[in-house]
A and B are shown apart, each in its own frame.
Chain A
Amino acid sequence: MTSRVPNEVHSKSMGVSRRGFLGNASAGIAGSLVVGPAVAETLADVPPREDGADLSGRSERSKYVKIARIPEAGPGKRNVDPSDAINSKAPLDKLFGSITPADLHYERSHSGAPDLDPALHRLLIHGMVQNALVFSVADLKAMPSISRLAFIECTGNGWENWKKADENLTVQNTHGLVSTNEWTGAPLKLLVDLVGKDSGSNWMLAEGGDAAGVARSIPLTDEILNEAFVAYGQNGEPLRPAHGFPMRLVMPGFEGNLNIKWLRRLKFGDQPWMTRWETARYTQLQANGKATQFQLRMETNSVITSPSGTMVIKPGYQRITGLSWSGHGKIAKVEISTDGAKSWKQAQLNHPVLPKAQARFQMDWTWDGKPTKIVSRSTDEKGNVQPARKSFIAAMGTNALFHYNAQQTWGIDETGRVRNVLD
């Protein structure tokens, strides 16, 4: 049993033959997208060119690409039946750049994704308004529109690490509840003008057409009035059902739950409604037993996506890369420590760096083969710094469940295996 060296374990888990693994270093890069038994040791092993597939109406992924979300339940409840899952996490370790493919954007719902016929879907806007109006999908599409890249993040993202760190988690498990898409829709401000909102109305109830009728109270600050919109487009195509087809609210920088999917009603009022999702849920229990409410903005955050949990690296050059984002605006800088947060170096931010969208960062590193820990911390344009876990927990306790944005540390042992650790 002592001969069960990490390299063998790794090669089996990746479906790579031992001979192939040893014969080609590139096949050993953990997180590699292309998994297959064949290895071309010389150019003579590369298959000859051949006729390609016929043109088609829609492009599918290569059969060699294994990439999918993971349906999970609450913290520690993984590998569940999809019918018991409450969210489905995006494969951050297998994505490039900063845009999430629409079918891999993380998914969260409270009563499943409804099958809505756009011809029969309506948006009612009423309450403290001069003219209560009903809009069809066609109405929204005919209006002046905006398109914007924005991250949406489930408020529970990161919740695996509140109390302990399971060393077998991937970055998909720990941080897969955030994604960035380009969203297209009608500005909220235009809708507000169309219905003639009363000046005394400062709160808006947004309600979904899902079975649960998920509903949240939204304060109509200038920022929200200027930036929120009712989206029907996602990365250039109509919304996917899992993401709110045929229309959803997009609230750049705010709790994912506020971005109400399958939107069917906006009601204007003068106080919050205190729905179940802003009282019993999405409130953060502090150590003293009191809960923080209306913590609506998503915090400054970042995570190294490679090397990350369960990957295996070799001594020598390593490109450290990851994603950073902030609900406050643009990311100003990301720093990386490769010595367990003792010293920090500034990473390169890939362009474009957009407000309230994920930004890709990377940094060159040479691993000397000794055990260490790597960690990233982001700073946004407002000066908010992603906190170290110790100070974060000292302030928040370990019961908050939501709004975890502490720095993520990955431990690397002498065999090169990368593990989720607390700090």
Chain B
Amino acid sequence: MSTLSIDHVSRWFGNVVAVNDITMTIGPGVTGLLGPNGAGKSTLINMMGGFLAPSTGTVTLDGQPVWGNEQIYRHIGIVPEREAMYDFLTGREFVLANAELHGLGEKEAQRALATVEMEYAQDRKVATYSKGMRQRVKMASALVHEPSLLLLDEPFNGMDPRQRMQLMDLLRRMGDEGRTVLFSSHILEEVEQLASHIEVIVAGRHAASGDFRRIRRLMTDRPHRYLVRSSDDRALAAALIADPSTAGIEVDVTEGALHIQAVDFGRFTALLPRVARDHGIRLLTVSPSDESLESVFSYLVAA
């Protein structure tokens, strides 16, 4: 069990601040590092992996500094975003070389290849591999020493849905085994499907932290959208708009539904059923239309 602590870390390149005073703790399980492209995710992952010195602040793994400490790699496995990986080797030779650099050998390399189910292609040159196969061999090279912390930079980039699912299963398994797994992504569905914990980075800042629902709740001061179908949409709309908890209601004639924008989450959720009952209106559908990570994210980005 390992805990990665990022303590008031900033990193700037010349005048550009890529990471701005971020503090977070990554514990066992799968954590998603979410943010749009250029938010500073790669810079942060590079600092977590000891490939970049923080301009200020510290990154430590169980109290050990990560920067300038090659012994830390006994506990860290890294899956870089970049493709290049000694293409002139076969998959087996590549993983074996990685094992040897850890002071391990054939046995561990073979086990890692089995974990990612790449034994069938292990004697082919890496140059002949598809994107998904490369990704799996990269995973094997990162797992060969059974690290307690696994860092993956945009691991799902360019993978097809089947490969994506396989990798997600594997990462979930790693998290369940008690490893600390952190992956970055700018794709919301990926993070939503896989991560039990989410850290959101926007424009170099730590925008939110927690599980998906918690992050959503942090957003309660933001308008929430609901799709409501009822026995009398117009009457319901008229009654709801009178209350300050709603900011706008659209009567969607083609859909036969109301699009309601609520500004006071708590008050609105109490108001809606009461108003419906008082006016003798039956509620047929009440669904939050933006409970997806996408909308949470766009709020955060806009903030």
Partners in one complex: no
- Residues of B at the A interface (CB closer than 8 Å) are none
- Residues of A at the B interface (CB closer than 8 Å) are none
